[in-house]
Structures are given as structure tokens and as C-alpha cells.
């Protein structure tokens, strides 16, 4: 479905493995905000931008692939924090490349300040851009960047 003046931009927000534990999981790295709070903040921000979001979280690689496939014709953009699959999943990258939906990659932590195995992202080459290191704010900045990209 293409966005028209009467249908707001629809953005799919995908949260990968272990992000359901946000708020309890390594708060020194990921902060104390929960996934529900991030999704509520994004919904409020999307309303201001005359857009809407649908958020999905899964710990399973194949579910992430299926979710990306199902976005075709439903969403104009994707924000993805693929968690650890960022650094391992050719399948998630190939799904994003296949559907060709403009995608912004986000991370709560600055992956380049952390262990070497987090410095490589399979997703970055198929994303329009990446935002990393601003905690929950990375998602909001990602939404702003994506909506700006889609409208200009």
C-alpha cells in the first residue's frame, strides 16, 4: 500500500533477540528503559510526524526473516535493531535486500566502542543508515531520519 495524503506513512519497527529483556538486561550498557517504553515513545513521536509504527520483537532469526517478508506492501520503511543477529545473520540481511524497503539500523549501545565481534554489521550495507550509541534515543533518531528520507 502506497502512502497517500489520507494514509500516514507506516513504519515497521523490528526488535531482535534479547531486547524483550530491556530494563533488566545489562542496564549499565542498555539503560533502564523497557521495550514497552521505547515502543510507546516511538508511537508518540510517529504521531507528531503524521506517521504510524507497528512494533515486533522476536528472539528467532526465521521469525525476523518472515516479518521482513510480510512488510511488503504494508510498510514504507523499517527500523531494525537486530541485536546479536546484526553481527551474524546473512539471512536477515538478505531479507532486507530482497524486500527493498528503506531501512534504518539502530543500536542502543555504540557497537564500535565494544568487543571487536560487534564492529561488523551484516545489515549496514543494505540499510540507508545506522544510528548507534544513543540508548533509547537511537530509535527516535532513527524514526526521524527514516521519515525524512521517505518524504524528501
- Look at residue 16 and give its three-state secondary structure: coil
Q: Site size for ligand DQA, by CB under 6 A?
A: 10
- The conformation of residue 107, written as its DSSP 8-state character, comes to E
Binding segment toward ligand DQA, per CB under 6 A, in 5-13, 41-49, 57-65, 106-114: 106-114
- Chosen residue from 9, 109, 142, 146 binding ligand DQA by CB under 6 A: 109
Chain-centre distance for alpha carbon 105? 5
Name the one range near ligand DQA by CB under 6 A: 2-10, 52-60, 79-87, 144-152: 79-87
Torsion (CA) 17, 98, 110, 52 in degrees, nearest 10: -80
Within 19-78, which residues bind ligand DQA (CB under 6 A)? none
Residue pair 13/55 in contact (Cβ under 8 Å)? The answer is yes
Q: Which cell numbers in the block locate residue 142?
A: 532513527
Number of Cβ within 10 Å of residue 132's Cβ equals: 21
Given 15, 85, 107, 122, the catalytic residue: 107
30 is catalytic: yes
Min CB(41)–ligand DQA separation in Å? 15
Q: Residue numbers of the site for ligand DQA (CB under 6 A)?
A: 18, 81, 83-84, 86, 107-109, 111, 118
Catalytic residues: 30, 107
Amino acid at each position: 500500500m502506497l502512502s497517500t495524503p489520507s494514509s500516514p506513512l507506516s513504519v515497521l519497527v523490528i526488535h531482535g533477540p534479547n531486547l524483550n529483556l530491556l530494563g533488566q538486561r545489562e542496564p549499565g550498557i542498555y539503560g533502564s528503559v523497557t521495550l514497552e517504553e521505547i515502543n510507546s515513545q516511538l508511537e508518540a513521536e510517529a504521531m507528531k510526524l503524521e506517521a504510524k509504527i507497528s512494533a515486533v520483537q522476536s528472539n528467532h532469526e526465521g521469525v525476523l526473516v518472515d516479518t521482513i517478508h510480510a512488510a511488503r506492501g504494508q510498510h514504507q520503511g523499517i527500523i531494525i535493531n537486530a541485536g546479536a543477529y546484526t553481527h551474524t545473520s546473512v539471512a536477515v540481511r538478505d531479507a532486507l535486500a530482497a524486500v527493498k524497503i528503506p531501512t534504518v539500523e539502530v543500536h542502543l549501545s555504540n557497537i564500535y566502542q565494544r568487543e571487536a565481534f560487534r564492529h561488523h554489521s551484516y545489515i549496514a550495507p543494505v540499510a540507508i543508515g545506522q544510528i548507534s550509541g544513543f540508548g533509547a534515543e537511537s530509535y527516535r533518531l532513527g524514526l526521524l531520519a527514516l521519515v525524512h528520507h521517505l518524504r524528501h
